[in-house]
Structure 1
Amino acid sequence: MEDFRRILVVSRMTTYCQEAVHCGVSLARKYGAELFLIHAIHNPFGLEGWNLPVVSLEKEYEKITREAKADLDRILERERSNGLPVAELIRKGEPTKEILKAVEELKIDLLIMLSHEEWRLEHFLFGRSNEEIVRKMPCSVLLVKKEPQSVKW
C-alpha cells in the first residue's frame, strides 16, 4: 500500500459524514498527510423550471446544512487544536464535477466518502451519486460505512 500524502474527505453536510471525517483524521495522522475537507454545495432549489411551492423543503435543507456544518466545525476545531492542519473547501455547483476538480487541483492521493446509498430525498437535496464519483476519480477511493443503528425489538 502506498503512503497517502494528500487526503480529501467528502462532506455531505449530514451528521453521518462525521464518520468519514474521523476516518480521514485517523489516516492523516497515521501517514502525516495533509487533510482537506470538501463541501460541494448543490442547491436544487436554484434550478430553473420549478413551478411547485417548495419553501418548506428549502428551509429544511438550509436547517440541515447549518446543523451539519456546526457539527463539522466542532470536530475540525478540535483536530486543529490538536495540531492537525485541515483545509476546508466550499465549492458551489454539481458535486461530482466540483469534487473531481478539487482532486485534480490538489493532487489528492486518497478520496474518502460515505458508502451508503442515498435516499431519494437526500440524493435530490445533496446531489451525490457514489457510483459516478468512484468511476471518475483518478485516485484511490475509500468508502466508509456508517455504523448501523441498533434495532430495538
Structure 2
Amino acid sequence: MKRFDKIMMATDFSDNSDYAFDYALALARQFNAELTIVHVINEPADLRGIYVPQVTYEELEKEISQGAKEMMAKFCSSKLADYGNYTTAIVSGIPFQEIIAKASEIGASLIVIGTHGRTGLEHLVFGSTAERVVRAAKCPVLSVRLPVQ
C-alpha cells in the first residue's frame, strides 16, 4: 500500500467535517503522518457598496477571521489532545481552489474532506466543494459522507 506521509483535512466545522476528521486522524495515526487541518473562509460578497452603519467591511473581515481562529483552536483542543504531529491553516478564498492550492503547497499525499451528499436542485444551487476537489486534486482524495440515518 502507498504510504501517506502528509494528510490534509479540509474542515468547515460541520458535522460532516467532524465525521471525516475521524478518518483523517485514524489514517494519520496509522501512517505516522503529518496532519494539516485547513479551514477556508469563503470570500463574502463584496459588501462595501451596502450601507451598514455599525460595521465596516474591514471590521467584518476581521471578525470572521477571529471567529475562524477561535473555532480552529477549539476544534484542535477537543480532537487532537494526544496527537502532536499536526499544523493548521486558515485561508480566505473560494473553498475548492484554496484546498487544492494548500494541498499542492504542502505536498499532500492525501486530502480528506467531508461531503454533504447534496443532490438535485440543492446540488445545482450550492455545488459540491468535495466534488470539485476530487476532480482537480493531484493526489488521492478521500470524500467522507455522514452515514444515512
The interval holding the TM-score normalised by the smaller chain is: 0.7 to 0.9
Work out the CA distance in 2 between the residues paired with 1:91 and 1:31: 26
1:80-95 matches, cutoff 5 A: 80-95=80-95
Distance in 1 separating the partners of 2:47 and 2:135: 26
Judge conservation of contact 1:10–1:37 (CA < 8 Å) in 2: yes
Question: Which residue is equivalent to 1:31?
Answer: 31
Deviating above 4 A after TM superposition, structure 1's stretches of 4 or more consecutive aligned residues are: 118-121
**What does residue 3 of structure 1 align with?**
3
Letter in 2 for 1:102: K
Matched-pair contact (CA < 8 Å) for 1:40–1:93: yes
Query: SS of 2:15's equivalent?
Result: coil
TM-score, L = length of structure 2: 0.72
Which secondary structure state, in structure 2, belongs to the residue aligned with residue 84 of structure 1? coil
RMSD: 3.3
Map of 1:74-85 to 2, 5 A cutoff?
Answer: 74-85=74-85
- For residues 47 and 10 of structure 1, the distance between their equivalents in structure 2, rounded to whole angstroms, comes to 26
Is this contact kept in 1: 2:111–2:141, CA < 8 A? yes
Distance 1:128 1:93, change over 3 A: farther
Mapped contact 1:95–1:128 kept (Cα < 8 A): no
Q: SS of the counterpart of 1:8?
A: strand
CA deviation profile, 1:72-114 (whole Å, cap 9, x unmatched): 6445224543143221110001111111111111000000011
Secondary structure, aligned partner of 2:146: coil
Normalised TM-score (structure 1): 0.71
Counterpart position of 2:20: 20
